[in-house]
Amino acid sequence: MRLSLAVLFFDVLDYIDPLIGSDNGGNVFCGATLPYGMAKAVADVDGQNTGGFSTDGSNITGFSSMHDSGTGGNPSLGNFPIFPQLCADDVIDNCVFPKAERATHYVNESVVARPGYFAVQLVNGIKAEMTTTQHATLYHFDFPEQKSSNAIALSPLLQLDLTDLWISRQNASISVDAMTGQLKGNGTFLPSFGAGSYVLHFCADFSGAGVKDNGIWVNNRAGTEPKELFVTRGFNLWFTEAGAFVHFDRPANGTISVRTGMSFISADQACQHAATEIPTWDFDGVRSAAEDAWREKLSPISINAGDVSKDMQISFWSAIYRTMMSPQNYTGENPNWKSPEYWDSFYCIWDQFRSQLPLLTIIDPSTLSSMLRSLLYTYQNEGWLPDCRMSLCQGWTQGGSNADVVLVDAYVKNVTGIDWNLAYEAIVNDAEHEPLEWAHEGRGGLNSWKSVHYIPYLDFDYLGFGTNSRSISRTLEYSYNDFCLATLAKALGKGTYTKYLSRASNWKNLFKADQTSFINSTNTGFVGFFQPKYMNGTWGFQDPVACSILGNPQFCSITTNPSETFESTVWEYNFYVPHDISTLISKLGNDTTFVKRLDFFHETPGLADIGNEPVFLTVYEYHYAGRPAKSAERAHYYIPSSFNDSKTGLPGNDDSGAMGSFTAFSMMGLFPNPGQNVYLLVPPFFPEIGVTSPVTKKTATVKTKNFDAGYKNIYIQSAAVNGKPWTKSWVGHEFFTEGWTLELVLGSSESSWGTKVEDRPPSLGGSSGGVAARDALDI
């Protein structure tokens, strides 16, 4: 074993900054969690609080143990916050109970965020620190010494609020144990981006000081009797603020410890989690176990950073860290059905399928396998694969049925432990049967899909119901979903594969060859765009720049300006044919015009939205036109200028680590086209990287010659795999499982490496002229 001193003293946790993306809409969860943990503890603020906390300088409203990371839309979870305070003159009614009134600013410089740990100090001097296990959190609240007007030391008060970040609480119950102060209860809440409701239970125990008195509070009043409360959401959904409180004697050393357990099953189970996971209230022990869990999860990856700045290293490791927040392991916590495993917070698969889940295929395949089994249990018990899922509920579908891609991506990468015939059945269900509520499962417009072979503009669809929009982006995504289904069907020897392969070409039906695009009344000169088409074959029209800041409307989502493309432009979706980019290139002209169009797209301010996932693949599509050097330029164009280690260092919602995975794959120099056994090669951002397969224990290595930390030499001149010349601009997953060594010779200008037709990545139509590449798809 060769260990340098640098390696010996390297602790990956020193390179993780959970506060990256904590401002500017990254919405990351920056508190204490285990990898994929259910308990996620942090301070909740009243500013950018989608993930709980933000460094935006807003006020803290409480400390809570359930969160999602990086999501958009409504703030997620944040249930049952605890808030510490000292009541003036020690009179309970002098404490302020309602959320808006109690909100208190924090000392900016006091924030400490580390894997498994979070700490902050309020401007009133109260300090909080927290660490976590799988379902439980241990908090320390440290109260400064403060005296009342008659010189009596004030006693700490902790309140628990029966609410969540979104104030979605319906009914809730709480009880307080008069002797110990133990708080137990439950509440019904709404999922932040889904249908239905969920019930969550809690249990909180205290230590460090004697219990002085306790009781319940409603609005801004509290009483020591009764010890139980049931609160509803009755008249016009009016929200009553309520909860319980415990008032303590002055703690010996100023600190009160709070141990909370969470459960979707029962309050007793929540208490049991807390008692078994944190039996001795050993804060340092819990914290170091969390740190070890993170070190272990990050251990497959190693880098030789050479002269690359610490900032870039922090950006890299933190990005990988964020890909292991969600999905969350809720095994044993699903009240709706019994299955050996259950995962939640697939939030949303539309974000995660592109690179976040593919990254786990490499660095944590056994966990990915467990997640996929859970998707299939969800199919078996709810009838459908989810497209998005949070808090035990089906989330809203944004585009296609992209769990199909997730499953097939794992199949082509030999992930084990999956019943592939069941996976096939579940994907066929998406492709063939239209659910009544395709707003949150399956696909809409399937009659038209099967008869006219595209999703029509203003489709006549009486089978199922969803927002009848996004006909272009749904056609493109359904085409790719069916391609993935065809891949699995062929591999399993099913005769249906030709049918699905033919549907995989449905995208061609919305290609309008003579469509032009104007920006500011100036013709961009590019011709040929996807356009909406009525069922009768007549073209509709959507300005190719609509749904960007250059168009009108400027933003299009499911209910905000529903349009024929989802959250992006026709310009951007014009590149979304992941399985047949070679045919797309021919339709758009030739390699040269395709490269020009990609350049124009990325370089025209406002056209490419680097802050949202549909853009990811476009950064690397130059490979398909024989210009891998331009993909490398493009990766450096966006990193670090749009993805860096500052608190505002993410260009959009991290979306459960999707942005993190884009950063990680880009910096490793291997970018996936998920659903296919393909990684597109660019030089890594470090002189050398290694990835040890947790399955085969073999180490895949990328080594470079002529690497320079100023990133002048970002052009591959030649490559070798295991000592033999490698002319292809891509590798398959065997690179990881068989532990290949890839050596890249770099230079300061573009070379002919990877430009030949036969060296391009596989594409259904063959590589403009060549057919060799299609064979690699094995379809």
Ligand X SMILES: *[C@@H]1O[C@H](CO)[C@@H](O)[C@H](O)[C@H]1NC(C)=O
Cβ distance to ligand X smaller for residue 384 or 622: 622
**Strand 32-33 to 40-45 pairing:** antiparallel
Minimum Å gap between C-beta 401 and ligand X is 24
Contact window for ligand X (CB under 6 A) among 301-309, 561-569, 680-688, 732-740 = 732-740
Cα pseudo-dihedral 446, 447, 452, 453, rounded to 10: 20
- Closest-CA residue to 391 (of 82, 25, 40, 47): 40
Contact window for ligand X (CB under 6 A) among 374-382, 560-568, 617-625, 642-650 = 642-650
Determine the Cα–Cα distance for residues 683 and 717; give it in Å rounded to an integer.
10
Cβ distance to ligand X smaller for residue 640 or 674: 640
Query: Could you say which residues in the range 558-597 bind ligand X, by CB under 6 A?
Result: 589-590, 592-593
Which residue number has the CB closest to ligand X? 57
Which of 12, 439, 489, 519 touches ligand X (CB under 6 A)?
519
Cβ distance to ligand X smaller for residue 136 or 745: 136
Interface map 268-297 toward ligand X (x if CB under 6 A): ---------------x--------------
Query: Could you say which residues in the range 322-341 bind ligand X, by CB under 6 A?
Result: 329, 331-332
Which of 74, 302, 646, 706 touches ligand X (CB under 6 A)?
646
Contact window for ligand X (CB under 6 A) among 11-19, 74-82, 184-192, 398-406 = 184-192
374: helix, strand or coil: helix
Cβ distance to ligand X smaller for residue 272 or 604: 604
Helix (H) or strand (E) holding 639: none
Q: What single string gives the DSSP state of each residue in 369-395?
A: HHHHHHHHHHHHHHSS--SSEETTEEB
Minimum Å gap between C-beta 688 and ligand X is 23
Q: Is 536 in the site for ligand X (CB under 6 A)?
A: yes
| Alpha-helical regions (H) of 385-453 | 403-412, 420-432, 446-451
Q: Is 103 in the site for ligand X (CB under 6 A)?
A: yes
Cβ distance to ligand X smaller for residue 631 or 663: 663
Minimum Å gap between C-beta 2 and ligand X is 27
- Closest-CA residue to 660 (of 344, 307, 406, 363): 363
Q: What's the gap between Cα 614 and its chain centre?
A: 14
First to last CA, the chain: 43
Query: Could you say which residues in the range 407-436 bind ligand X, by CB under 6 A?
Result: 413-414
Q: Which tokens go with 551? A: 């168009």
Minimum Å gap between C-beta 591 and ligand X is 7
Interface map 684-723 toward ligand X (x if CB under 6 A): ----------------------------------------
Interface map 474-513 toward ligand X (x if CB under 6 A): ----------------------------------------
Interface map 208-247 toward ligand X (x if CB under 6 A): ------------------------x---------------
336: helix, strand or coil: coil
Determine the Cα–Cα distance for residues 50 and 73; give it in Å rounded to an integer.
8
Which of 49, 61, 121, 134 touches ligand X (CB under 6 A)?
134
550 contacts: CB under 8 Å, gap ≥ 6 = 519, 520, 604, 606, 607
Which of 318, 370, 398, 565 touches ligand X (CB under 6 A)?
370
Minimum Å gap between C-beta 543 and ligand X is 14
Instruction: Specify which residues 128 forms β-bridges with.
Output: 120, 141
Minimum Å gap between C-beta 52 and ligand X is 16
Rg, the chain, Cα only: 27
Helix (H) or strand (E) holding 213: strand 211-218
Determine the Cα–Cα distance for residues 131 and 135; give it in Å rounded to an integer.
11
Calculate the alpha carbon distances from 16 to 112, 201, 320, 670, 709 in Å: 12, 32, 9, 21, 21
Determine the Cα–Cα distance for residues 173 and 593; give it in Å rounded to an integer.
64
Q: Is 309 in the site for ligand X (CB under 6 A)?
A: no
Minimum Å gap between C-beta 37 and ligand X is 9
Q: Is 108 in the site for ligand X (CB under 6 A)?
A: yes
Q: Over 282-324, what HEC string results?
A: CHHHHHHHHHHHHHHHHCCEEEECCCCCHHHHHHHHHHHHHCC
Q: How many chain residues interact with ligand X (CB under 6 A)?
A: 54
Q: Is 188 in the site for ligand X (CB under 6 A)?
A: yes
Q: CB–CB of 235/221 below 8 Å? A: no
Determine the Cα–Cα distance for residues 65 and 260; give it in Å rounded to an integer.
8
Q: What's the gap between Cα 503 and its chain centre?
A: 29
Minimum Å gap between C-beta 637 and ligand X is 11
**Strand 741-747 to 699-705 pairing:** parallel
| Alpha-helical regions (H) of 58-134 | 99-102
Q: CB–CB of 635/619 below 8 Å? A: yes
- HSE-CB at 439 with a 13 A cutoff on CA atoms is 13
Contact window for ligand X (CB under 6 A) among 251-259, 525-533, 551-559, 747-755 = 251-259
111 contacts: CB under 8 Å, gap ≥ 6 = 19, 55, 119, 120
Which of 65, 69, 255, 352 touches ligand X (CB under 6 A)?
255
Minimum Å gap between C-beta 233 and ligand X is 7
Minimum Å gap between C-beta 232 and ligand X is 5
Q: Is 139 in the site for ligand X (CB under 6 A)?
A: no
Q: Is 534 in the site for ligand X (CB under 6 A)?
A: yes
DSSP state letter for 353? T
Backbone angles phi, psi at 623, to 5 degrees: -55, -40
Cβ distance to ligand X smaller for residue 73 or 589: 589
Query: Could you say which residues in the range 590-609 bind ligand X, by CB under 6 A?
Result: 590, 592-593, 604
DSSP state letter for 209? S
Query: Could you say which residues in the range 143-182 bind ligand X, by CB under 6 A?
Result: 170-171, 173
Query: Could you say which residues in the range 19-58 bind ligand X, by CB under 6 A?
Result: 56-57
Binding site for ligand X (CB under 6 A): 56-57, 59, 103-105, 108, 123, 134, 140, 142, 170-171, 173, 185-186, 188, 199, 232, 253-255, 283, 329, 331-332, 367, 370, 413-414, 519-520, 534, 536, 538, 589-590, 592-593, 604, 640-642, 644, 646, 648-651, 677, 732-734, 737
